[in-house]
Structures are given as C-alpha cells and as structure tokens.
A = this chain, B = another copy of it.
Amino acid sequence: MINLGNFLTLSTFGESHGTAYGGVITNFPAGLKPDFQEIQRQLDRRRPGQSTIVTQRKENDSVKFLSGVFNGTTTGTPIGFIIENENQKSQDYDHLANVYRPSHADFTYDRKFGIRDYRGGGKSSARETVNWVVAGSLARQILPSDVQIQAYVSSVGEIFCEKPYQDLDLSKTDDNDVRCPDPATAERMITRIKEIKKEGNTIGGTITCVIKNLPAGVGEPVFGKLQAELAKAMLNINAAKGFEYGSGFCGARMTGMDHNDLFNEDFTTKSNLSGGIQGGISNGMDIYFRVAFKPVATVLRDQQSVNSSGSTVTVAGKGRHDACVLPRAVPVVENLAAFVLADLFLINKLRKFNNQQSENNRI
C-alpha cells in the first residue's frame, strides 16, 4: 500500500462496501482557492448511473473536505476528504464469501493477506478511483491554467476511432455517452456496448489522453521520468493492461530516420513521435498516451470457477455492473494524469538554483 506522488502525495482508504472512501493529500500548496464545483463535476463524470450504457447503481459520490481549506482557500496543511458509501447491498455478496471469481482479485487477496472483504470486491473494487478523481481534479488546479488534459475513448473492442487526436474536437468528448469525440464512431461504440450488455457480456477498449501546454522541464530522470510516472499511475487503474506514449508500440517498427522529430527554430518539432517527452522531461509539445483496458471481469452469465477449498462452483454475476468501463474511466485517466503532472511540476520548481533565491521570506 504505497502512496501516489513523490512530493505532492495522496494516501487513500476505502473498500467497496465499507463505510467510506477518502484520503489525505499532503504538501498541497497554500493560497489556492479550489473550484469545488469543478471537483464535483469530475466526480459526476465518473459516477454510476449517468447514462444508459453504464452501470445503474446509484451513488451520489459527494465529497466532503474535512481539513486544509479555510475560508475557501487552501492553508498548506493536509487536505482530508471523504466520500461516504451509500446504497450498499452487502448481502448480495454473501454467496461470494468463499468463491474465487475468474479474473478478479479474490484469490490473490486471499493468498496475500489471508483474509479479504468479499463484498463488492472489497479493496480491489474500482470504486477506489473515486479518490483519485477527487485528488486529481484538485491537483489539476495547481497547474498553469492553460494546461489542458483531455482524455477520450479511442476504441471499444474492435471499433477504433481512426482519426488522430489532432483531427478531433476534444471539447466534444462529453457530448455523447461513450465519450468518443468523433460522433460517427461514438454511435457505433454505443451500439456495440448495448449489444454486449444485452448478452450479459463485457468489452474492453482504449483511452487516449492528450496534454497540451505543459511547460518544458517537467519530469525527473532517472527514476521519475514523466512517462514512467504516468505509466505507473495508469497501470494502477483497475483493468488497465498497457500503456504507450508518443509513437508507442508503432514506434518499435520504425527506423531512426523516420522516427526522429526535427526541430524548428523556435524549438518546437516538425513531427511529435516523441509524444512531448524527451529523456523523461516534457519538451513543450503535446503529450499524448494511450491506455488499454481489458473487458470487465464480471459477466452476467454463468461461469465455472472454484471456491477457496478448491472445489468447482458455478458463478453467476448478478447486480448492476458496467458492460464497458471505458466511458467512466475517462475522468479517472484525466485526473490521475493531472495528479502526476502536478507532483512533477512542483518538483521541477526546485531543480534550478537561481529560482530558489528569487523569493525572500525574511522578516
């Protein structure tokens, strides 16, 4: 149970059917007036029940800040927050107490800890990401106001958004339920998800995230390279199976003469296969990366599995689950990226000696 962040840190807690989720953000700078409505708006983007293609569970996901803010301004002291769990139907899960569901974390938690809270997946539930949206959407407000972090669903199953992000209007991402900014592709994705849902099945996909206007200099080689910190954060998201940035896996097929990004005289680059990061440090160009998500493991059909005694049992998913987690994962990717960027952005402020002398706190 390791924290998120290197200087700006987040410690979280909470299980699916426990009392509450929440966390503590430390080293948040004093003097910022958080836009709390924006934080709630980001939570609403992640919330169940917001459209017909996501789970119909009802959770208000309303966050309460318990400390670190006074008269609407951050005080520099730790920010505690809490999201109370509601609408818990824990008894729905009693039949799972001794069952290991396929491709869930039931077996591994049991092996690791010798005990697990089996209600709704306990700690392994993706509901944990509610904490990340709170912390990330707050951390985002540390970044310069023109930094844009925009994620969208770039594929669902075999349906890909073929246009590169440059040809999309990313401000339109939330205009449809699946959060793909290309209306025609979105339509096909939605249709596909509805089919899959009707079958009691689930489906995977990818999310692309684009970061614009981040200043050059952000990222801490050797072990805190910008892409490495992003990769770590993204691979901590439940169901994430892969991460690539810039040219990614395609870049592995290329030659150096084709891949190198030549400079313009204003230090921008003619191409951007580097994905805005060189040597682990942002270069001022757009940063873009892609995250792969496997299909949700909970299907509403019978599957053969085993219980903790090693006997074969039949598991039938029931309850209200997502057939495709991608639309709700968009704000998770965005805000988690924001937390990583804010952390490294702050650290970067200390990396030149001259900067430090500029401010004088003397009495």
Closest Cβ neighbor of A236 among chain B residues: B228
Closest Cβ neighbor of A360 among chain B residues: B215
How many residues does chain A have at the interface if contact means C-beta atoms less than 8 Å apart? 166
- Chain B residues contacting A194 (CB-CB under 8 Å) are none
Give the contacts of A179-227 with B (CB-CB under 8 A): 196, 201-206, 215-217, 219-225, 227
| Most-contacted residue by chain B among A13, A124, A283 (CB, 10 A) | A13
Instruction: Compute how far the CA of A345 lies from the CA of B215 in the bound complex, rounded to whole angstroms.
Output: 24
Query: Could you tell me if A304 and B361 are in contact, using CB atoms closer than 8 angstroms?
Result: no
Give the contacts of A1-50 with B (CB-CB under 8 A): 1-4, 6-7, 9, 11-15, 18-24, 26-27, 29-32
Q: Count this chain's copies in the assembly.
A: 4
What's the minimum C-beta distance from A290 to chain B, rounded to whole angstroms?
Answer: 8
Identify A274's interface contact among B79, B103, B157, B219, CB under 8 A: B103
Is A51 an interface residue when CB atoms closer than 8 A count as contact? no
Query: Could you tell me if B279 and A108 are in contact, using CB atoms closer than 8 angstroms?
Result: yes
Query: Could you tell me if A20 and B66 are in contact, using CB atoms closer than 8 angstroms?
Result: yes
Q: Decide yes or no: A107 and B267 within 8 Å by CB, A75-B115, A115-B31, A235-B243 being known contacts.
A: yes
- Chain B residues contacting A68 (CB-CB under 8 Å) are 13, 15
Q: Decide yes or no: A261 and B204 within 8 Å by CB, A11-B24, A30-B113 being known contacts.
A: no
Q: Decide yes or no: A259 and B295 within 8 Å by CB, A222-B128, A357-B144 being known contacts.
A: yes
Is A64 an interface residue when CB atoms closer than 8 A count as contact? yes
What's the minimum C-beta distance from A33 to chain B, rounded to whole angstroms?
Answer: 9
Enumerate 24 A-B pairs (CB-CB under 8 Å) in ascending A order.
A1-B27, A1-B222, A13-B24, A15-B77, A29-B351, A30-B115, A31-B113, A77-B221, A105-B278, A108-B219, A142-B353, A155-B252, A201-B256, A225-B235, A232-B232, A232-B235, A241-B252, A251-B295, A252-B294, A256-B296, A263-B304, A265-B310, A273-B294, A346-B350
Is A61 an interface residue when CB atoms closer than 8 A count as contact? no
- Chain B residues contacting A311 (CB-CB under 8 Å) are 265
